Structure 1
Amino acid sequence: MLFQLASKGLFVALLACVIVWSSRDPNKYRKLVWVTMFLTFDVIMFGAFTRLTDSGLGCPDWPGCYGHANPLQALEHIRAAEALMPDGPVTVMKAWVEMIHRYLAMGIGVLIIAIVVIAWRFWLQSGRTLTRFSPRYPMLLLFFVCVQGAFGAWTVTMKLQPIIVTIHLLLGMALLGMLTWVGARQKDHPFVDARALTLRTPALLALVLLSMQIALGGWVSTNYAALACSDFPLCHGALVPQMDFEHGFTLWRELGKTAGGDYLPFDALTAIHWTHRMFALAVVAVLGWTAWKALSIPGLRTTARGVLAALVLQIVIGIATVSLKWPLALAVAHNGCAALLVLLLVMLNYKARIPSPSGQNREPYQIDLRSSAASKDKA
């Protein structure tokens, strides 16, 4: 079974490598990083789809499905579980959704291993002088993807315990951000004005607040509190409704239960949803102000416009999601837009730390993985 699972992850990675090798970009290492980042973004979106369709336990064991590498081989077990609970967490469709999510995640793991190997190769070939190929960042990526895999396993074995699922989401977003940072290191960016130095603290604060909001959003989703406030902008017709923060924000507990084992009261779900909604006001204010400030700095304007556009889109999707009673497509898009904001804010933070002309203090190397060594561009 493990060999069959590994072959599926390898197949996903090979498809990504075909895109890399067929690209006209001479820097195949850079292309590999960006393709891996794009696949990670897709897996975050598909992970949201998995969670929102209640498919997280479509295969209630790990890493396989009832001890098999795919749902076809486990069809007898799935049918039996579905017959006992027709509306339960195990169905043929949910099993496929969960296993496809795992296959894609394994493919990312294989690609990150490739990034690590290639980074070490070029770094050593350069006599350890090419800092952009320093293996410390790829090694950190490898560590993170291993931790992420462990939390993916615990998500299933601990039966969707909310804190585990939320951390799983945060680690996925962190992996996306780290891949964005590694990819940014492989590119010579346009001139960034020295005023970008003044944006370092605001950009970092914006990223921290966004991470906290994503954690709150994950807590809403994993506790199924999305419809706890079904009206907008009020909640149950009040600005401050009746809420139970103690039970709502007890972190270590089973899904739908209090720490004492009782069913989670509805007021706790209201507290979870209301907190996410109110904290969004602070996030919008800080992100909007940071992006607006970045608009006046050469070299940051394109990224700042992207942040503002994504922020407006996220606000519209968030309001529409509540107003339209949480349609699946909008809920998935809400997660995807959050991932897009992570990507853009990481890029903004990176650019704010390189206030120098394009190429200054950067190695002018073009890397082609089809060649045996790095070739230096004398231009």
Structure 2
Amino acid sequence: MQQSKYMKWFAVGATVGMLLILLGGALVTKTDSGLGCGRHWPGCNGSLIPTEITKEVLIEFSHRVVTGAVSIFIVILTFWTWRKLGHVREVKFLGFLAIFFLVAQALIGAAQVLWGQGDFILALHFGISLISFAAVLLLTLIVFEVDQKFDADEISIGNPLKWHTIGITIYSYFVVYTGALVRHTDSSLICPDWPLCYNKDPFNLPDNMYEWVQMGHRFAVLIFFIWMLIILIHAVKHYKEQRVIYWGWITAFILVVLQIVAGLFVITTGLDLIVSLFHSLFISLLFGLLCYMILLVSRSEYNKRNR
């Protein structure tokens, strides 16, 4: 029991740490601190520890330190859960995902510092980190499930919700990518109005790449919102008896609304840093929750095959 308690605290720490990596990476991007340490990695401006501290150096170097420290946490958590909870079907796969995509995002970050990368490649960086965060989050939820008498056998998800869950999770990743592309192409404030680029001229199509990137993201978010609303209505109507599904989709829809509101305020406040970080936080939590819904779908399918 004591060991279980330690594992829970360690898992929570790893999850929070992974969230800090995500937000730290967003902070680096939003403050243009990616070259705070120059073209040096893992060192900073020619030395292992920076000797001259500027805002950009502090942000970039702190992000590297946090990433390194949290990476150790995640590796330990992965092997710990493999050893103690290896009998749980999803544990080994999630551990592999957590480490693989954590390494992948670190390599992309290093490549950007050393050689530079195009905007369309850089936009993948946040999404890759997001997969690692989701894997660590699910590992943590599994650690807590073991002692909470969560009965996976009671989960039963019908085909409509099953395919909606899979589809919306994949689509959410596309929405994340379009949002990252907006930032990396410096298209965040290209449109002065919201929800249209120019509200006074609603039929005017974007006339340059930056407007297309910005409005493409907004259109993708609109589809995302409508789709999530459809899923919410379906879940509320048919899954009241399965609380984890019922409340899960209600929470997911609330996060979508918060994400859209944060996106609006990002524009109206002229890229306020705190608002921008909340924008990243809400989509990170939402993607993690959608991945948990995928896990529940997987369990439901497993249960059906083994009845």
Q: How high is the TM-score relative to the length of structure 2? A: 0.85
Contact 1:197 1:353 in 2 (8 A): no
Structure 2 match to 1:43: 21
Matching residue within 104, 121, 130 for 1:147? 104
Alpha-carbon distance between aligned partners in 2 of 1:290 and 1:158, rounded to the nearest angstrom: 43
Matches within 5 A, 1:24-43: 26-43=4-21
Matching residue within 59, 63, 75 for 1:97? 59
Q: Which runs of 5+ in 2 are unaligned?
A: none
Alpha-carbon distance between aligned partners in 1 of 2:151 and 2:233, rounded to the nearest angstrom: 19
User: What SS does structure 1 have at the residue aligned with 2:299?
Assistant: coil
* 1:169 and 2:130 are equivalent in the alignment: no
Structure 2 match to 1:234: 196
* 1:312 and 2:266 are equivalent in the alignment: no
Structure 2 match to 1:345: 290
Deviations 1:194-215 (A, max 9, x none): 2455422101111111110000
Structure 1 match to 2:211: 270
Matching residue within 210, 235, 254 for 1:294? 235
Q: CA deviation at 1:29?
A: 3.1
Structure 1 residues 317, 119: closer, same or farther in 2, change over 3 A?
closer
Structure 1 match to 2:222: 281
User: What SS does structure 2 have at the residue aligned with 1:113?
Assistant: helix
Amino acid paired to 2:31: T
Structure 1 residues 138, 233: closer, same or farther in 2, change over 3 A?
closer
Alpha-carbon distance between aligned partners in 2 of 1:318 and 1:150, rounded to the nearest angstrom: 29
Structure 2 match to 1:52: 30
Q: CA deviation at 1:32?
A: 2.7
Deviations 1:195-251 (A, max 9, x none): 45542210111111111000000000011100011111221343354535xxxxxxx
User: What SS does structure 2 have at the residue aligned with 1:318?
Assistant: helix
Structure 1 residues 223, 354: closer, same or farther in 2, change over 3 A?
same
Matches within 5 A, 1:167-246: 167-186=124-143, 187=145, 188-189=149-150, 192-196=154-158, 198-236=160-198, 237-243=200-206
Amino acid paired to 1:28: Y
Alpha-carbon distance between aligned partners in 2 of 1:303 and 1:107, rounded to the nearest angstrom: 31
Q: CA deviation at 1:136?
A: 3.9
Aligned residues: 292
Q: How many percent identity over aligned positions? A: 20
Q: Which is further off, 346-355 or 132-141?
A: 132-141
Amino acid paired to 1:168: H
Q: Which runs of 5+ in 1 are unaligned?
A: 1-22, 79-91, 245-266, 362-379
Structure 1 residues 106, 196: closer, same or farther in 2, change over 3 A?
farther
Matching residue within 89, 114, 117 for 2:76? 114
Contact 2:101 2:132 in 1 (8 A): yes
Q: CA deviation at 1:52?
A: 0.7
Q: CA deviation at 1:190?
A: 5.5
Q: CA deviation at 1:349?
A: 2.0
Matching residue within 280, 286, 305 for 1:335? 280
User: What SS does structure 2 have at the residue aligned with 1:352?
Assistant: helix
Structure 1 residues 134, 324: closer, same or farther in 2, change over 3 A?
closer
Structure 1 residues 136, 320: closer, same or farther in 2, change over 3 A?
closer
Deviations 1:2-29 (A, max 9, x none): xxxxxxxxxxxxxxxxxxxxx9783433
Amino acid paired to 1:321: V
Amino acid paired to 2:84: F
Deviations 1:276-295 (A, max 9, x none): 01111111111222233223
Contact 1:193 1:355 in 2 (8 A): yes
Amino acid paired to 2:112: T
Alpha-carbon distance between aligned partners in 1 of 2:24 and 2:272, rounded to the nearest angstrom: 15
Q: CA deviation at 1:30?
A: 4.3
Q: Which is further off, 224-233 or 39-48?
A: 39-48
Q: CA deviation at 1:132?
A: 4.9
Deviations 1:106-135 (A, max 9, x none): 122111221233234336xxxx7x235853
Alpha-carbon distance between aligned partners in 1 of 2:79 and 2:196, rounded to the nearest angstrom: 53
User: What SS does structure 2 have at the residue aligned with 1:26?
Assistant: helix
Structure 1 residues 196, 179: closer, same or farther in 2, change over 3 A?
farther
Amino acid paired to 1:137: L
Contact 1:155 1:164 in 2 (8 A): no
Structure 2 match to 1:63: 42
Contact 2:105 2:128 in 1 (8 A): yes
Alpha-carbon distance between aligned partners in 1 of 2:134 and 2:164, rounded to the nearest angstrom: 17
* 1:323 and 2:268 are equivalent in the alignment: yes
Q: CA deviation at 1:184?
A: 3.3
Structure 1 residues 346, 189: closer, same or farther in 2, change over 3 A?
farther
Q: How high is the TM-score relative to the length of structure 1? A: 0.70
Alpha-carbon distance between aligned partners in 1 of 2:90 and 2:76, rounded to the nearest angstrom: 13
Alpha-carbon distance between aligned partners in 1 of 2:90 and 2:6, rounded to the nearest angstrom: 13
Greater helix fraction, Structure 1 or Structure 2: 2
Contact 1:132 1:185 in 2 (8 A): no
